[in-house]
Amino acid sequence: MTGKKKNEILHDHNKDGVDRRGFLKCMSWAGTGAFCVMQGGVLKSYSLSEMSKSGSDAMPAGELSFVQISDSHMGFNKPANPDVAGTLQVAVDKINGLAKPPEFILHTGDISHLSKPEQFDTVDQILKSVPSKDVFYVPGEHDVLNDDGKSFLERYGRGSKGAGWYSFDKKGVHFIGLVNVLNLKAGGLGSLGHEQLEWMENDVKHLTHSTPIVVFAHIPLWTVYPEWGWGTDDSAQALAYLKKFGSVTVLNGHIHQTMQKVEGNVTFHTAASTAFPQPQPGKADSPGPLKVPADQLRSVLGITDVNYVQGRQALAVVDSTLA
Amino acid sequence: MTKSTFKLTKARLPITGLASLMAAMLLLAGSPGAAANGDQPAPAAAEVKIDNFSFGPVALTVAAGTTVTWTNRDDIPHTVVSTDGAFKSKVLDTDEKFSYKFAKAGTFAYFCSIHPKMTGKVVVR
């Protein structure tokens, strides 16, 4: 490959052979998100990275398309990713690079790392360049750290019910945003709570069986790995209300890796984080941030393009094409 | 305490009930809170480390009047919240600490309100 110039190190501040651009490039998961298309009432999810490289002819067509991003963790600055603003920007650049702009953006929580106003401000600022008018949010546990979600509600919760749950309709698809990161009990998992479940039951009651449903929440609504708290205690009740529908899609974040599961009429997806990857269930002592070793970073610098890097790392799953 | 001592103590050993009691007593004697001169009685202190999304030791036994200090050594923030509401830390970012003085005897169960799978208890005698 003759891409030497392309891979030239421009600003090596830390004298480690990795500049900022190189860092972002080597973080093969950087700028990950899911491009979702509703096709004949069934939602399909594709890698945002792949889609941003496609021309408009190659992009899957459907009634409605949107992008899901998740877990920006603005304010995180540990070795797993010292530049979370940069990696979110990469995701936004990919959204802006799509041949057909998505209808709207869903952010499935952990917008901030420590619920600080300036961290939310930074994300708002970075997302400003996205052509889509609407960005829909649900909180992650990192967004409601200090005040049971009051400041999150003030900022993002306009028109929502209770602790911030809501629903809306777009082109015949019914979207439901749920909050499962509040009032967590010792030893338990994510929690929706009685009030929210009751609201949801009423919210879907009047809908016809053929209405496609998309539910989004931060913590997975299916039990991915309870030992690490990757599940929601009362999600079965929520899913029971959706049994009558022919097409149900559940979109979550929280676990910083893509996963997919089909169960009856329900397809579950989790999105990658724009900030840092987490280990596969049970593959580490804890679900803490997965650090890509610096020497590994250097060894992949300037050799070839990102796809190749992805193909050689276990992280490939993070940015693989879904569905 | 230096960075290297942190690293040395980071390796977790399997400790059983009696051993953990002994470890707690050792911590009492050797903790930074202990008085340097022999004239004053040392204020009782004990430590709990937060590592890899778990409290260590999970069960800590102390004498009444002991101040327990939790230190978060993860890259991810945690909290220390008692299940009956007796105490509640603010969010602890990396290397931040929270202390609480246990005045009375009893068993105090606590957890991380962000990651509720993380639980622990302090037994005060």
Residue B109's SS3 state is strand
B79 falls within a domain: yes
B5 falls within a domain: no
Token reading at A279 = 């280990």
The C-alpha atoms of residue B124 and residue B110 are separated, in whole angstroms, by 13
Supply the pLDDT for residue B68: 98
End-to-end CA distance of chain B: 28
B:41-80 residues touching chain A, CB 8 A cutoff: 52-54, 74-77, 79
The C-alpha atoms of residue A277 and residue A122 are separated, in whole angstroms, by 21
Taking Cα atoms as reference points, which of A137, A115, A116 lies closest to residue A127?
A: A137
In total, chain A counts a number of residues equal to 323
A85 near A72, Cβ under 8 Å?
no
Query: In this predicted model, which residue has the larger pLDDT, A296 or A149?
Result: A149
- State the pTM of this model: 0.79
Contacts of A253 (CB under 8 A, 6+ apart): A70, A71, A108, A109, A110, A140, A218, A270, A271, A273
The string of pLDDT tens digits covering residues A110-141 is 999 999 999 999 999 999 999 888 999 999 99
The C-alpha atoms of residue A119 and residue A115 are separated, in whole angstroms, by 7
B54 contacts in A (CB within 8 Å)? 286
The string of pLDDT tens digits covering residues A15-28 is 444 555 555 554 55
Question: A20-319: CATH homologous superfamily?
Answer: Metallo-dependent phosphatases (3.60.21.10)
B53/A186 CB distance under 8 A: no
Domain of B76, in residue numbers: 16-32+43-124
> Exposure string (b/e) for B21-55, b if CB count within 10 Å is 16 or more?
bebbeebbeebebeeeeeeeeeebbbbbbbbbbbb
Determine the average pLDDT of the residues in A194-218: 97
Asked if the bond preceding B57 is cis, omega within 30° of 0, the reply is yes
Supply the pLDDT for residue A260: 84
Q: What are phi and psi of B82, to 5 degrees?
A: -75, 145
Interface A-B, measured as beta-carbon pairs within 8 A, has a size of: 58
Residue B117 has its nearest CB partner, among A115, A141, A228, at A228
The answer on pLDDT for B13 being more than 70 is: no
Q: Nearest-CA residue of chain A relative to B76?
A: A288
A64 near A38, Cβ under 8 Å?
yes
Confidence of residue A188 (pLDDT cuts 50, 70, 90): very high
B95 falls within a domain: yes
The C-alpha atoms of residue A213 and residue A204 are separated, in whole angstroms, by 9
pLDDT > 70: what percent of chain B? 66
Residue type for A230, please? W
The answer on pLDDT for B22 being more than 80 is: no
C-alpha distances (whole Å) from A215 to each of A65, A165, B57 are 15, 11, 39
Q: What is the DSSP string of B44-65?
A: PEEEEEEETTEEESSEEEE-TT
B101 near B67, Cβ under 8 Å?
yes
B75/A78 CB distance under 8 A: yes
Largest CA distance in chain A: 62
Taking Cα atoms as reference points, which of A272, A280, A275 lies closest to residue A46?
A: A272
The C-alpha atoms of residue A66 and residue A51 are separated, in whole angstroms, by 12
Give the count of domains, chain B.
1
The answer on pLDDT for A302 being more than 80 is: no
Supply the pLDDT for residue A290: 78
The answer on pLDDT for A285 being more than 80 is: yes
The answer on pLDDT for A307 being more than 90 is: no
B12 to chain A, closest Cα gap in Å: 12
A173 near A210, Cβ under 8 Å?
no
Pairing of strands B106-111, B119-124: antiparallel
Supply the pLDDT for residue B98: 98
- The enclosing domain of B110 has a CATH number of 2.60.40.420
Lowest mean pLDDT among A55-69, A184-198, A233-247: A55-69
B115 contacts in A (CB within 8 Å)? 141, 229
Residue A114 has its nearest CB partner, among B77, B116, B119, at B77
Residue B116 has its nearest CB partner, among A78, A79, A188, at A188
